[in-house]
Structure 1
Amino acid sequence: ILSNAGLRSHALVTLIDRDRIQLSYYDRSAIIVSQAIDLTNADDEIRFIAMLIGCHRLTLKQRGVLHQIIKDPYITDFSRFNTVSKDPKLLFSGLEMELQKNGENITLILGTIVYRQRGLFGRDTCVIHATCTEWKDTKLVVKISWPSASRKSEKELLDIAIAKANEMAKPGETHWVLNHLPNILHEQDFKFDDAKSVQKLIAEMVNGGQYVGGRDGVYERRVLRITVLEELSPITSLRNDKHYAQVFVDILQCHKWLYDHPKILHRDISMANIMYRKDGEGNVFGVLIDFDLSSLIPIEEAKSLRRTGTPPYMAFDLLREEKDSGPHLYRHDLEALFYVMLMICCRHSIIKKVQPKGTSQLEEIPANLSEWFDRTMSWNILAKVKTSFFSDNEPLPVSRCFEGFRPCLDFIRRQFAAGIFERQKEPAAGSWKALEDVFNLDGRAPLVSEPQKPVQPFDDDTLGGHIDYGMFLTVMWIFKKTELVVRNRDRAPVAP
C-alpha cells in the first residue's frame, strides 16, 4: 500500500463491498477507516459524491505523493511503471532524487533496491543503489526510512561516536573502531509538522481521543529521513567461515566500545544490520550499521510506541507482551548477536558454486528454527519458544560448513540456560511463586513462618553473572585453534 508505487508519506484506499464503500487512510503509524457509505441510500449518495469531489481537489502532497523528492513513476511514465512493477527491485531504477546540501541541490540517480523492510507500521526502511557526481568515486546507497520524530538521528549518534574515537586516538593514528562504523556522507530530514499537513491533523485528531473507540489515542509522529552512505557488503556474501568468525568478533568489540565510551546502545542487532568492508590488503572488517533505533545511555528520549528490534533476533525478555517488559539491557544486544550467529550457522550453508560478487553466497535451510520466523506467531509465544530453546535437549542443527562454530554456540547456549534457571529460582513480585508456603508437605501441618535468610538480589543485567562481554569474547576470539584479531580487550563489567 505504501511502497509499491513510489515514495509515499501516506495512502488513501477505497474498500468496496458490493454497494458499500469505505475510505481508508494508511501511514506508518495509523490506519483510519471511515464509516461505510451505502450507495442504496440517497443521503449516502450525496456523501459519496462529496467524497469524490474532495479527493479530486487534493494536491499531490495531500495524496501522499512526494513528487518533489523523487519524480513519481506512477505519474511521469505509467507504461514504464507497469513494466518495472513486475520486479519490485526495479521500482526506482533510473529515477532522480533531489536533495539539498549546504544550500545547493544535489541529484542522485537511483538504481536497484538492495533491501526493503516488511511491515505496515514502523520505519519502512528501503535501501537503494545510487550514483552522484558529488561522490563520483564512491559506491553509494541511499537509505529511505520513517523513524520516530522523537529519536536522535543515525548521523547525530555516529557523529558523537566519531568525535569520541578521534579524541581517544593516538597522535597521527586512526582509532580502530572507525573501521567498524558506517560512513554517512549526507543526511536530510523532511518533516510533516506544518499546520495543514495531513500527519499533523491526524495526530491532533487521534491524540484528542476522537474516533478511536472511546480509548485514548496516541499517534507516533515520524519524519522522512534520507541518508546517503558508502556502500558496504552484506555478511552473507562471505564464503570463508573464518571471515564470518572475524566479523562476529568485530561486531562484539565495536558494540562494547560504543556502549562504554560514547554511551550508545544499538538495540537492533540483526543479520541485516551486520555488514563488512575490506581494506587494500583484503582484510575483512565487520561493520555495525543502522543506528535508527539506537539510544544514548541513560535513555532520556521519549519511548517509541513499539518495542525496538527485529523479532527473530530480539531477546526473549523484550518479546514478552507485559505492559512493562523492562529496560533494554546491554545483554539483550549480546543475545541478539548470538541469534545472528545461530541463524547463519544453522539456517544456511555456503553454496558450492561461487556466486556473483556482492550477492549472497549462502543457501537457506528454511526448516531449521522456522518457527522463529513465523509472522503469524505472537511475540509472547515467540518469547516462550526462545526460552524453551535454551532448555531443550536437542543438539543445534549446525551446517557442516559452519561446524567450527558449534563449541562456541553450545557454550553460550549453556550460559543462557544456566542464567534462566537461576532467575526462575527468584520469583518476581506478583508471581504465584512468590506466595508464602503455608503447608508442610511432609506432615501436612500448618507451618510457622520463619524469618528467611537474606539473599543477594539476582543480577539481571548479566543474567546472574552468566552473560557479559568477557564471556562472549573468551569463547569467540579463538576459532578452529586460530586467534582472531582482538582490539577491545576491556573486560570490565558494563555499566548498569
Structure 2
Amino acid sequence: MATRAPLQQSLRPITELTTAMELGQVFRDIFQHYRALYEKAGLIHGDIRLNNLRYCKKDRKNRGILIDLDENDKTRPIFTQKTGSYMALDLLAPRLRPPCHFYRFDLESLFYVMLAVSCHYHNGKKVAHPPLETWQHLSTQLYLEKYFFMHKGPVPIPTPNFGKFMALNVELHAMFADGYDAQSKDIRMRFRPTYESAFDPETLGGHLTFDAFQRILDKHLPLLTFLVVSKYPSQQL
C-alpha cells in the first residue's frame, strides 16, 4: 500500500524540520503506522531509509508518513535492501542470514534514520562532516562498522536543533546492543553439546519488540518540548 501520487506531492522531507518536538511527533506517527500495518495486515516495509520518511501538514500539525510500502508479506523471504547505511546489522552479516524479514530489521532502520536526522541536520541543512557519514561509502566493511557501533558505541551527539534526542538515541541504542549481545551469547552456547536454544531471533531474545520500542518513545518524546538550543559552532555548518 504505497503512498499515492497526489498525496506524495504534498509531502516534505523530514530533514526540513527544525525542532525536536516536531521531529519527535513525526517519528512517533511513522512508528505507530508501521506497527499497525504489521500487526493488523501482516505487512513489512523492507526498505526504511531517509528518503522514505516524509511529513505533511494536517490540522495545523506535522504528521509523519512512511512511503514506498510495497505490500510485502511478513512471511516472505528476505530481499536485498537498497540502502546499506540504513540496513539492519544481521542483514549485513556474512553468515547470519535470517529465513525471513523480521520486523525488528525495519525498527533498526528507523533508528538509523533517527540518528541521521538528529545528528546530521541543523536548521534544515546538513552539517559538515557529520558522524557516521562513512557508512554511506562502505560496502564489505559496513558490517564491522555497525557491529562495533552496536556493541560498543558511542552514540553520536545530536545537533542543537535536536539536542533532546540524545537520551532517546542512547536508550534505543542500548536496547539494540542488549539484544545483539544476547544473540552473540546464544550463538556461542550452541557449541555446547547439551545446550538447547530457545532464543527468539525475531525479537533478539525478547529485547527488541514493538512494546519495548514504544516504551522508550513514550518515555522521552514528551520531554522534547523543553528543548534548550545551544550555539552551534559556525565552522561545522
- The TM-score bracket by the shorter chain reads 0.7 to 0.9
1:166 counterpart residue number: none
- Paired letter, 1:247: V
2:126 counterpart residue number: 363
Q: 1:288 to 1:393 in 2, by over 3 A?
A: closer
> Displacement, 1:471?
1.4
1:235 counterpart residue number: 14
Candidates 132, 142, 150, aligned match of 1:390 = 150
> Displacement, 1:184?
4.0
Query: 1:347·1:369 contact (CA, 8 Å) conserved in 2?
Result: no
Following the alignment from structure 1 to structure 2, what is the Cα–Cα distance between the partners of residues 325 and 366? 34
Query: 2:20·2:163 contact (CA, 8 Å) conserved in 1?
Result: no
1:327 counterpart residue number: 100
Q: Does 1:291 align with 2:69?
A: yes
Candidates 92, 99, 120, aligned match of 1:347 = 120
1:271 counterpart residue number: 50
CA deviation vs aligned residue, 1:384-426 (integer Å, no higher than 9, x gap): 2111102225352222221111111111111111111111112
What is the correspondence of 1:474-493 to structure 2 with a 5 Å cutoff?
474-477=215-218, 478-481=220-223
> Displacement, 1:239?
2.0
Could you tell which deviates more after superposition, 332-341 or 468-477?
Answer: 468-477
2:34 counterpart residue number: 255
Q: 1:229 to 1:393 in 2, by over 3 A?
A: closer
Any unmatched runs of 5+ in structure 2?
226-237
> Displacement, 1:472?
1.4
Query: 2:190·2:197 contact (CA, 8 Å) conserved in 1?
Result: no
SS in 2 for 1:336: helix
2:200 counterpart residue number: 459
1:402 counterpart residue number: 162
> Displacement, 1:323?
8.8
> Displacement, 1:461?
0.8
> Displacement, 1:327?
2.0
> Displacement, 1:324?
4.1
Following the alignment from structure 2 to structure 1, what is the Cα–Cα distance between the partners of residues 20 and 207? 27
Any unmatched runs of 5+ in structure 1?
1-156, 159-181, 186-227, 351-360, 437-450, 484-496
Q: 1:277 to 1:326 in 2, by over 3 A?
A: same
CA deviation vs aligned residue, 1:114-134 (integer Å, no higher than 9, x gap): xxxxxxxxxxxxxxxxxxxxx
CA deviation vs aligned residue, 1:409-453 (integer Å, no higher than 9, x gap): 11111111111111111227xxxx7545xxxxxxxxxxxxxx73x
Please state which structure has a larger fraction of its residues in helix. Answer: 2
May I ask how many residue pairs the two structures share in their alignment?
A: 224
Following the alignment from structure 2 to structure 1, what is the Cα–Cα distance between the partners of residues 216 and 96? 36
SS in 2 for 1:245: helix
> Displacement, 1:458?
0.9
- Paired letter, 1:463: L
SS in 2 for 1:285: strand
CA deviation vs aligned residue, 1:161-203 (integer Å, no higher than 9, x gap): xxxxxxxxxxxxxxxxxxxxx3345xxxxxxxxxxxxxxxxxx
> Larger relative contact order (C-alpha < 8 A, sep ≥ 6)?
2
Structure 2 length-normalised TM: 0.83
